[in-house]
Chain A
Amino acid sequence: MTAFDEMRDGAVAAATYAEIRAWIERTPLDALKRKSAEAELLFRRLGITFAVYGEGGDPERLIPFDIIPRLIAASEWKSLSAGLEQRVRALNAFMLDVYGEQRILKEGIVPSALVLENEAFQPAMMGFTPPGGIYTHISGIDMVRTGPDAFYVLEDNCRTPSGVSYMLENREAMLRLFPRLCARHRLAPVSRYPEHLLSTLKSVAPERAGLDPTVVVLTPGSYNSAYYEHCFLADEMGVEVVEGADLFVSDDDVVFMRTTRGPQRVDVIYRRIDDDFLDPEVFRKDSLVGVPGLMRAYKAGNVTLANAPGAGIADDKAIYPYVPDMVRFYLDEEPKLGNVPTYLCEREADRAEVLSNLDKLVVKLARGSGGYGMMIGPHADEAMRAEFARRIAEKPGDYIAQPTLALSTVPTVTDTGIAPRHVDLRPFILFGRNEISIVPGGLTRVALREGSLVVNSSQGGGTKDTWVLEDGPSRPHAPMGQAQSQTQTQEDSLGC
């Protein structure tokens, strides 16, 4: 199985990567490694860590950052972003429907049991329409690529997708480490994401909040793996990052935060806590990170939660195969983005197919995330396959399977030289009352181990900066001011 090399395969690739290719060919490996070390120092100093607790080792790890960027041509991005917008509209329509009239279930397009018996389905949302009719204000759609025009959606993350801070910090790092290389490309900027996020959140504030609603980011706390991101986004938006204990709900169902000036009213909560933990009065009673009474305030229309409770229903990998049907059903359009063919082990015919092809398929938990509990058939040994066969037979509803895709590769700095490594892409889509906005690019995750297809940061994956190129010629900067006549401007070996 040969993978598509995003730098070398095809005419678009050659044109897109021309500068990058020249750069890595003229730069000695030592120099690239030095720059990598510099990047690591930068991230460590800024405290950009990803906490993985309970596995021993340093609990505050850095996600490895690879300094060779991943490029996407303007034309590629254009069709990709149109597809993403379409998909998110369909997913949002699906949520409004399943918590409302349930037309798609009544018409038998999506099996009722799959939705209604799903643990991500929140009956508490039945008959309630979130402000502006928006469930999924912030989503991250994981994409993989297998050929020049072959982008596929791997999974939808509508619950509380993370990673956007890495997208922003990676760009910052590249601009610091390689200003000249960046200047030689027409890079679509990503830095306005926090601004867009804030206006998205403000656009869904309760009406009585007026023109300047109070927005907060609700975090489970500093032991959460994405805590850095929660603080980063709050800081960039200029809002408070709060924990459950910082908030309380009054008897008349209004949410307040505890401040040094006394209680202050809160209008919009960008929550980075799972549904189950949001409100011990409604969901899990043992939740210590939630806010008792939050759902009362939400349903009274006194506060907006983003994303809406129950949005996680679309993250389920057993629902995923039906998304193209949702596009047709709700939007009356043909899906612009394809799905990866998926077997639902719950279906008898699919299950038989999966069990007889375990050596070729990727088996995943329908409700898992973070790359845990999955098996990549071709890389697994006999014992592992037997183990998964047993698990599938035991709880077929918990598993899905997909063909092992030849994920595209991008050149990556490794100990022994520059080598292709498999990547995926998570673009972030913001859905506000008046518009959908997608920052060009997203987070590129890279599987650093040779041959590995697992890009999750909890499984040793790294990240790259994602460069969406704008149309038009590149803009090399003229040297600043005038130079002394005998000193020739000389590009250093790094070309940065």
Chain B
Amino acid sequence: MLSRTADSLFWMARYTERAANLARGLGVAGRMASLSVALEDESAEWHGILTASGGEAGFLDKHPGVTPEAVVDWIVRDRDNPSSIFSCIAAARNNARTVRTALTVDMWGAINDTWNLLRRMTPAETSGEALAGFLEWVRERVLLCNGAATDTMLRDEAWRFVQIGTALERADNSARLLDVRHAMLSGSAATEYAQWQAVLASVSATRAYQWVYRDRLDPTRIAELIILRPELPRSLVASFARVKEQLDAISADQGGRRGECHRMAGELHARLAYGRIEAILEEGLHEFLTRVIEHTASLGQEIERFYIQVAEP
């Protein structure tokens, strides 16, 4: 496959996944902020989602203060924010457009229709009372894109690069959402409980927690679920298992051709697969998650170095 095609598929998948996770994170933040009676500091929520989305600096260049309206606009619509939902879907669609031939008609239809619907939406349709419904719609559209890929793509290299993009982005986003919630943990027991609920909601895992543990919310278990449990499809370990599995499959197809990215993916996965939550908490959750986020970024760069930036002989 052309390196550029692999690159576009990888980033198409990353941007669609990011859009959905922003929608999850923002939805939860909005809910939490509206429960502000129970919270000490409403603006912490909005700061939190800004931090998680990694665009805090850009936001502060443009806006004097952190208001709910400004944050929502920045994360949903602002094209100056390369990671806004609009920017992500536009970038995903542009990547899809340049590799039309590597996509199925259904995948192209899902992503192209999403962009065509999104770009016509007015600010009134994506904020205020309409915000929750809009964020739900974004999640659904991304589920449709993923479903179209799962149900219609040949299991060839194109599929594998899409999978790697989705899983890598998901690992990064789950780690960020957990980290930012963790940082907000302070104060009364009631607030804390709401925060832990929010952590689960932001990775769509509220029900999953109940099914796995059948018990009241417990911080250690929540961290374990999101970091170490392979059953949860949005957990870090499940995401890295997918990355590793798909990289190994590409390598097998290419007669065992391997590079640093394969080693790194294996190491990252093994650390999680054989990790213990007690040890992670002892090290410090924030320190651990920061390291995971950094390693995810390096792994992405290694994958690009090996498959995308083909050197001239």
Contacts and interface: CB of A to CB of B under 8 A. Distances in A.
B101 A231 contact: yes
Chain B residues touching A, majority SS: helix
B2 A240 contact: yes
A234 interface: yes
Interface string B1-36: 111111000000000000000000000000000000
Contact of B2 (A228, A231, A250, A259): A259
Contacts of B307: 260
Nearest to A233: B101
Contacts of A246: 2-4
A47 B108 contact: yes
A243 interface: yes
A392 interface: no
Contacts of B98: 221-222
A231 B100 contact: yes
B312 A259 contact: no
B312 A243 contact: no
A257 B2 contact: yes
A241 B101 CA distance: 8
A481 interface: no
A234 B254 CA distance: 24
A260 B313 CA distance: 14
B310 interface: yes
Contacts of B108: 47
A261 B254 contact: yes
A202 to B, nearest CB: 19
B97 interface: yes
B312 A263 contact: yes
Contacts of B5: 240
B3 A259 contact: yes
B100 A47 contact: yes
B3 A47 contact: no
Q: Rank and list the top 6 A-B pairs by shortest CB-CB distance, nearest first.
A: A258-B310, A235-B101, A258-B3, A260-B307, A231-B100, A222-B98
18 contacts: A47-B97, A47-B108, A228-B100, A231-B100, A231-B101, A235-B101, A240-B2, A241-B101, A243-B4, A250-B312, A256-B312, A258-B2, A258-B4, A259-B1, A260-B2, A260-B161, A261-B257, A263-B310
Interface of B: 1-6, 94, 97-98, 100-101, 105, 108-109, 112-113, 157, 161, 250, 254, 257, 307-308, 310, 312-313
Given A246-B2, A257-B2, 12 more contacts: A47-B108, A222-B97, A234-B101, A235-B100, A242-B2, A246-B4, A248-B312, A250-B313, A258-B3, A260-B6, A262-B310, A263-B312
